Structure formats: structure tokens, C-alpha cells
């Protein structure tokens, strides 16, 4: 079966980019004021910068490791990080990637993904390895012949990793 099939909604989706949005905005013409246009231009620049970064991740200039979870995550609520297999470091412990992309699939359909700076993820997993209970994580064996050592991380913790260096993470939410 092809990766994208006419029976799947994403096969019929239109690619919406900041250029597409800009063309739509310009078509609205007289409905908007000059100040609205200035705000849109600034927002457009941010959108295009985000698109450029995402495009860069897909080039050979970026060092990106992609881990894909299949199905089980939806039942357990965990992401799996292998760090050793058959007595040797592996997985997250040996990657030299700048970014770690964790993709979550149900069947053949990707349902979500998170992109993390690899060093931030490694720092978090080192802390978890030292005290898994403090993070709500577990260290277990798995894979073929239970030869791999893995860390099971609740998926919401991944978002905490992404946010922990942001200003609100140290001062708490504003009221």
C-alpha cells in the first residue's frame, strides 16, 4: 500500500504555506487597514522563518535523528528511548544528531511528532536514569531477546523537556 492513499484525508490535503496565506490575504484587499497589513507582514516573516527552519531540518546540513513509535504508545502513554543493547551503548546514548524527532504513529498514519534539541533530551534522560521514580519514568529491558535497555517516558514529559528552558518554566505561569 502506498504511503499516501486517496482513501486517507491527508492525501487530499492542500499544502498551506505562508505564501499561500499571503496570496489569500492580498485577495482580501480593501477589507483590511494599513496597520493590519503591517501586523500581518511581521507575522508572515515569523511564519516563513519557521517554515525555513523546518525545511532546513530536512536537508543534509542538519543532523537529525528520527525515532518512530508504532501503536503501543497510544495504549501505554510512553515514549521509548533505547540507551544500551547487548552490553553496548546505543540509541540516544550514541547519537550525534543536533535534533531528535520523535514521531508517533497509529498504523501507517503519523499522528504527532515532537522535535527536541538532542542535548536537552540527553540531559533529561541522564537525570531520569539516575532517579526514574522522581520523573514518573521506568527503566526496563525490551526488544529482541530483551537485549535492549530502555527508558519509558510518559509522553507529556517530552513537552516539559521542550519547555523547561523557557522563561515561564522558571517563574511559573503568569496570572
Tens of pLDDT, residues 82-113? 999 999 999 999 999 988 999 999 998 989 99
Stretch (H or E) spanning 89: strand 88-89
pLDDT value at position 63? 85
pTM of this prediction?
A: 0.68
Contacts for 99 with CB less than 8 Å, ≥ 6 apart: 57, 62, 63, 64, 65, 115, 116, 117, 118
DSSP, res 166: S
pLDDT value at position 160? 87
State the Cα–Cα distance between residues 149 and 119, nearest whole angstrom: 20
Q: Closest Cα to residue 116, out of 59, 46, 172, 67?
A: 67
Amino acid at each position: 500500500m502506498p504511503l499516501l492513499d486517496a482513501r486517507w484525508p491527508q492525501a487530499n490535503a492542500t499544502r498551506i504555506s505562508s505564501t499561500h496565506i499571503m496570496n489569500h490575504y492580498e485577495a482580501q484587499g480593501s477589507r483590511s487597514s494599513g496597520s493590519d497589513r503591517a501586523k500581518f507582514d511581521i507575522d508572515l516573516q515569523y511564519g516563513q522563518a519557521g517554515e525555513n527552519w523546518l525545511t532546513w531540518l530536512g536537508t543534509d546540513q542538519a543532523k537529525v535523528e528520527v525515532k518512530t513509535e508504532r501503536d503501543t504508545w497510544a495504549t501505554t502513554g510512553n515514549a521509548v528511548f533505547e540507551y544500551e543493547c547487548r552490553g553496548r551503548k546505543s540509541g540516544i546514548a550514541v547519537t550525534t544528531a543536533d535534533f531528535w524527532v520523535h514521531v508517533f504513529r497509529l498504523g501507517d498514519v503519523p499522528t504527532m511528532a515532537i522535535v527536541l534539541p538532542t542535548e536537552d533530551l540527553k540531559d533529561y534522560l541522564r537525570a531520569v536514569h539516575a532517579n526514574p521514580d522522581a520523573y514518573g519514568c521506568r527503566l526496563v529491558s525490551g526488544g529482541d531477546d530483551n537485549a535492549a535497555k530502555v527508558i519509558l517516558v510518559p509522553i507529556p514529559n517530552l513537552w516539559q523537556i521542550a519547555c523547561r528552558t523557557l522563561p515561564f518554566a522558571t517563574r511559573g505561569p503568569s496570572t
